[in-house]
Structure 1
């Protein structure tokens, strides 16, 4: 049963309405005469509907009372009025009343207005409920959609990173395979060249040593020898790139290497380039070939200088880098560990992306003809990798270039070594009389070495390969003071031959010679041993000096 409040200032009319409502089956509540009473009653009793006369006693009329009630309570209100002027209706309309009943009214009119108001209110309540439920569901679905969308974006990002990572790995693999193939080609060519250059420079020096300084042919022979020396430098760089150069590893302080080269580098770059060196306090020890590292530093500085013909800024710096996770990019694939980074930065013309793709290839250069061999950066690339590190480059046209050399830090400390240099002997200086077993599979190289050794007083037992050398050793009853052997030979390598001979002659020293350090030799771990080595091409003076040094160390 619906509870209905009556607000009517004429008491007789109010009681009449109360009776009518009860006959209609409603619970008729009190009859109130003022708006203030109505507001207080609604707050206390919460009726289901209010019949509100527009003209009532007190400070506020029925319209204002309705406005105040509707602001605070969700109660449907039906106006009762004897006035129907436009102004009153507009004021009443603004309060959103549910129905209007004009006095005098019949029961049917009152009943239909009440039922319409109750139905409209109930419908509104249900609509609001459905709206709230729908809004809640929309919010939930929106939140779920946002969550799924975030997961999708995260998955897409992961897939993108995976694709980019795979592309980077593929690019690194292609680059590595390309550099490996070029290195094998370059190393093989350089090895053959070194044997020929040994003949050119060796016989040139033999002829020069037998001629007087006034002989006009001496200058011609010196020119031949100088050309051979320049070619030997190129093949040495090729061997480094091909990883077939026998590197002379030692532990050095990188800061000390850079600092000792400061004055030389300053003279090389000239006065129009601002040159600065910033070394992180060390020392920072690395294991590499000091001579090759010096050459790499020179190559990088010369390239930077050539990129700044009108002057600029050149900076060399070192910094210790500790990686707790891999560092990869276009050129790098560094494993976690401790490294020292040697950075060379210039403000020059920069390098295009197209050139960067080929920057470490041998013989690739953008310099004018005659101003570069294209081997400097390829040599740097190989030296750093053979030293356990990697090299990175970043550049943009007109914005300069930055080279980063990452070299692993070693716990070892530099060892004081006996000097391995001795004055190059001239003809007949400090002749020897020892017996030397010479083993070389290249006939022309063996003939040259035998001739030089014989000229300096040594007795020579010569063999083309290992088995022949073993047979000579068995037939020779006396001592053999030195084994001079090529590293890489058919059937039996130099180290294998030395091992067999030293089992019978443990006091016999060994001097190896080669145009490169083959992978087969690397498997013997020779670069980790204290061995005596002579790099081809060599001159007669260098050969004699090295032999004398090794024999004297016994």
Structure 2
């Protein structure tokens, strides 16, 4: 699909000539505007990829100021096109940080090079901004969600040291159990953090192999047995023996661990969590984790897998969480060419499923 350009030029002949040239160069011209109000309206309605802006729009309208407004308010790249080449005008234009500055009469090759460079730079700027947003979120997670369990460990160990001689064996066992649970959560968090970091930097490779699903699922359930028992949640496995899938074993292990851990977190004591593995058809295996827990409000489903806006809801016993495990799970599932399908009803429970290629 060709890039769309909005031309802001008060001279009709110049605007039409520019439009014709842009069409010949493979661009789509989404509109012609001759003044500030018309240009701003076109930006809002047409949402162009780039704005080609004349500096002198007549009637004392300032194209530089208009271009700066469009860049700041709408995040669009603006290229100035003008007959003015004096030092003062160029310096004023530079202060607006445009994506290009061309002197009339322009040459076709120069126009093409300027627009292509501007679009490329704008894309690079957007990616850099998104990367910075991700880094900021990443640092926030580290700062907040490492601090909480470390603070809990500090409180528990301080109390243990202070009252050690007065504690009964049962009290001592409870203290140690709390510390152990906190350390397990901290380990799971740092493990997800490291894997997600490797994935983002491209250092984590997808390595598919034949994986027997039932033994892997039983291995994951064994890791979660203590957590589920302490909360009073029963975790059930329903899987036919000898089913194999084409998958990265380590990734699949992390996927199941995160989904089941999340289901336990949002389940109530006395309820059940199910991991069901079944043939979807001759070529695919369905893996489904469902619970009868808190459920997810409809307005939160859209941001469930968005790193920048994910909502971190505490569990049914106020367990803390970052949402990072679910984000990592999504990326691991997509690395297998599949996707997570989520259905949930607040107060009823949640079901998350995905599909993997079956080895027959």
TM normalised by structure 2 equals 0.44
Q: Which has the larger radius of gyration?
A: 1
TM normalised by structure 1 equals 0.29
